[in-house]
Structure 1
Amino acid sequence: MEEDKLQRILDQVADAAFATADKGRVADYIPELAAVDPDQFAIAVARPGHPTLTAGRAQKAFSIQSVSKVFTLAVALGKLGDRLWNRVGREPSGQAFDSVILLEQEKGRPRNPFINAGAIVTTDAVLEGSEPKEALAAILRFVREAAGDDAIHINDSVAQSEIATGHRNFALAHYLLSHGNLQHPPELTLGTYFHQCAIEMNCAQLADAGLFLTACDGAPRMVSPSRIRRINALMMTCGHYDGSGDYAYRVGLPGKSGVGGGILTIAPGIASIAVWAPGLNRYGNSKLGTEAMQRLTDLTGWSVFGAAAG
C-alpha cells in the first residue's frame, strides 16, 4: 500500500477515535495508571523499508504493561526452548487475566503465558540462573534491540505502584509456589515481573519493536521463523484474555493488549501496528484501540482471514 494512502487511513482512524464519546475506563486499580487522561489516542504502523507512519499522540510514552509479555515470552523461549511448556500451557483461558479460579482448577499450571499467572511463570523461567537485575536487563535489551532504540526505559514509579497494590498477583505467585511451579521467592519473581510491565514506550517505538514478528524481508531477525509463527498463534488465541475471540472476530490479526491501553498487533508479512488509548473495555483491553484496529483492518484488508489490500 502506498504511504500517502496508508497515512490517510491512519488519520481517518485517529479522527474517528477522538470523536468517540465513550472512551472506556482507565485501570484505576493501579494508582499510577489511574491518573492517566483517558482522552488520548495514538496509532503507528511500521513496515520494513518504509518510514513508520503515525497519527494522534504517537510520541507520547505510556506503560506497555502486559504487551511486555510478548517480549518476555520470546526471551524465555530463547533461554529454555520447549522446556517452558512443561510449566505453562498454550490454550485460551476463557477467564479474566488475573483469575485465581482457573489456576486452582488446573493445579498450578497456567493455561497460557499471557494471563498473569502464566506470565509470572514465564518471568520466573527467565530468572533461571540469573539475578533479577540481570533477567530484567535481558528483557529490556531485547525490547531495545527489537525497536532499534536504546532510549526505552522502565518507569520505576509505575513499578512501585504495582508492587504496592499487586495483592492478587502475589496470591497467584504463592499459589504457583504451593504447586512447585515457582522456582524463586515470590517477591523476586514479582519484582522482576512488575518492572517488566512498567517498560515505557510510545506507539512508534512499540510498532518498531513488533517488526520482528512480521517475518517480513528486512525485519529484525530476533527469533526463528518457527518461533515467530507460534508466538503469533498465541497472540491470536490468548493475547486479549477472555476477549481474545472478540478481537479475532473484529480485527482478524494476532494482537497483545495491556491495561495501560496499548495493543501490539501483527499483520504477518505486512506490518507491525501499535495503538494506544488508555480507557479500557470490560475485558481490560483498550476500548478505542480495539475499535481503531477493527476500522484499520476494514480499510486495509489486513486480516489473516482474508486477502490483504496491499
Structure 2
Amino acid sequence: MEEVLAEVAAAVEPHRGAGKIADYIPALARIDPRHFAIAVADREGRVHGAGDCDLPFSIQSISKVFTLALALERVGSGLWDRVGREPSGSAFNSIVQLEHEQGKPRNPLINPGAMVVTDQLIGEGGADAAIARLLDFLRAQAGDPGIEVDAEVAESESRTGARNRSLAWFMKSFGILGNDVETVLSAYFRHCALAMSCRQLARAGLFLAFDGRDPVSGREVMPWHRARRINSVMMLCGHYDNSGEFAFRVGLPGKSGVGGGILAIAPGHGSVAVWSPGLNEAGTSAVGALALEALVDRTGWSVFV
C-alpha cells in the first residue's frame, strides 16, 4: 500500500494547487493550495500515508457523516421524518429547494439537512454536550485524543454564516428545528470546524468499511444495516451536485468538505482520506478526487463489482 500511495502522489503531482480555495471562509483563505495528503486505514487498523498526511486540516462537511451516525444512534429512524434521503441536484446551501419542499431538507449531507441532524443530536442536552459527545466518538474511533475543534475557523464561519442562518430560520418557521437557531448553529459551526489529519480521519471512518464494526477490536460501533445506509447516502449525496460524477469516476461512497478533504469508504477493504485545498465548481477537492480515481485504478476497489 505504501508503494501504491507513492504512485498516487506521483500521478497527481502535476495537478497540485489546482482548484479554488474556499476563500468565503476567511480562516480557510490562507491555506497553501499545494498541500496534498492521502491515508488509507486497512482491516488490521494500520494507517498508510503519503504527503502531508499528519497535518491537521478543517474537515468541514465531512463531519456530517459522523453527526449523522450519532444522531441515528440517538433518535433512530425517526430522524427521516425531518430530513430526506434523496440527492439534491442543487448547491449545498440552496434555499430554493427547501422552500419548494416546505422546509424539509432533501438529505442530511447538504447544509440544511446537517442542521436538522445537529438539532436532533443536541436534543435536550445543549450544544456543548453534543460537541463533547462528537469529540469523544472521533477520538475513540481514531485512537487519538488530540482531535479538537479549530476555534478560529468556527468563529470565522459564524461571522460569515448569514446564508446558513437564513436556512436555519426558514426551517424553524416550518417547525423542522426543535432547538433555538443559534443553539443549533453553535454546534453546527463547531463540528464543521473540526481539525483532523488524513491519518486520523481514515482511522475514524474505518468502521463504515466493515458493516459498522471496528475490524481491530471487533466492537460494534453501530448495527450493520445503519452503516450500509450511511454509506448509501454518502454515495448518492456526498458531493452535492458532483455526486454522480464522483460515483462514475471513483465508485466508492464518499463525503467531501470545502476544506479540501474527502473521506471515501471501500467496503471490505478500508477507508481513505485525502486532502488538497483547491475545489472544483461543485465544492469537491479537485486533486483529491483525482487521487481517489488513481487509487481505485490501482486497487480495483469499487462497490460496482
TM-score, scaled to structure 2: 0.97
- How has the CA–CA distance of structure 1 residues 65 and 202 changed in structure 2, closer, same or farther, with 3 Å as cutoff? same
Match of 1:266 in 2: 265
Give yes or no for contact 2:59–2:194 (8 Å, CA) kept in 1: yes
Q: Give the secondary-structure state (helix, strand or coil) at the position aligned to 1:44.
A: strand
- Equivalent of residue 193 in structure 2, options 195, 198, 210: 198
Q: Give the secondary-structure state (helix, strand or coil) at the position aligned to 1:182.
A: coil
Structure 1 residue 176 corresponds to structure 2 residue 171: yes
Structure 1 residue 11 corresponds to structure 2 residue 10: no
- Structure 1 stretches of 4+ with a deviation exceeding 6 A read none
Displacement of 1:17 in angstroms is 2.1
Displacement of 1:18 in angstroms is 2.4
Structure 1 residue 250 corresponds to structure 2 residue 245: no
Q: Give the secondary-structure state (helix, strand or coil) at the position aligned to 1:102.
A: helix
Give yes or no for contact 1:237–1:245 (8 Å, CA) kept in 2: yes
Give yes or no for contact 1:17–1:41 (8 Å, CA) kept in 2: no
Match of 1:26 in 2: 21
State the one-letter code of the partner of 2:276. A
Distance in 2 separating the partners of 1:119 and 1:189: 10
Give yes or no for contact 2:118–2:184 (8 Å, CA) kept in 1: yes
- How has the CA–CA distance of structure 1 residues 178 and 156 changed in structure 2, closer, same or farther, with 3 Å as cutoff? same
Distance in 2 separating the partners of 1:51 and 1:22: 29
Give yes or no for contact 2:17–2:35 (8 Å, CA) kept in 1: no
| Unpaired stretches in structure 1, ≥5 consecutive residues | 1-5
Structure 1 residue 84 corresponds to structure 2 residue 79: yes
Structure 1 residue 57 corresponds to structure 2 residue 52: yes
Q: Give the secondary-structure state (helix, strand or coil) at the position aligned to 1:275.
A: strand
Distance in 1 separating the partners of 2:113 and 2:126: 20
Distance in 2 separating the partners of 1:84 and 1:21: 40
Match of 1:118 in 2: 113
Match of 2:299 in 1: 300
Distance in 2 separating the partners of 1:133 and 1:239: 26
State the one-letter code of the partner of 2:146. A
Give yes or no for contact 1:92–1:237 (8 Å, CA) kept in 2: yes
Query: Aligned residue pairs: how many?
Result: 301
Structure 1 residue 186 corresponds to structure 2 residue 181: yes
Distance in 1 separating the partners of 2:249 and 2:149: 32
State the one-letter code of the partner of 1:303. S
Distance in 1 separating the partners of 2:2 and 2:201: 18
Distance in 1 separating the partners of 2:292 and 2:16: 17
Distance in 1 separating the partners of 2:266 and 2:41: 10
Distance in 2 separating the partners of 1:300 and 1:15: 16
Distance in 2 separating the partners of 1:141 and 1:259: 24
Distance in 1 separating the partners of 2:268 and 2:297: 18
Distance in 1 separating the partners of 2:16 and 2:240: 25
Match of 1:227 in 2: 226
State the one-letter code of the partner of 1:229. R
State the one-letter code of the partner of 2:167. L
Deviates more, 1:45-54 or 1:286-295: 45-54
Structure 1 residue 160 corresponds to structure 2 residue 159: no
Displacement of 1:222 in angstroms is 1.3
Deviations for 1:27-51, whole angstroms, at most 9, x for unmatched residues? 0100001111101100000012152
- Equivalent of residue 103 in structure 1, options 98, 107, 110: 98
Match of 1:3 in 2: none
Q: Give the secondary-structure state (helix, strand or coil) at the position aligned to 2:50.
A: strand
Distance in 1 separating the partners of 2:288 and 2:102: 34
Displacement of 1:7 in angstroms is 1.3
Distance in 2 separating the partners of 1:288 and 1:234: 23
Identity of aligned residues (%): 52
1:62-73 correspondence to structure 2 within 5 Å: 62-73=57-68
Distance in 2 separating the partners of 1:115 and 1:20: 28
Q: Give the secondary-structure state (helix, strand or coil) at the position aligned to 1:193.
A: helix
Distance in 2 separating the partners of 1:65 and 1:50: 24
Displacement of 1:21 in angstroms is 5.6
- How has the CA–CA distance of structure 1 residues 24 and 220 changed in structure 2, closer, same or farther, with 3 Å as cutoff? farther
Distance in 2 separating the partners of 1:136 and 1:55: 30
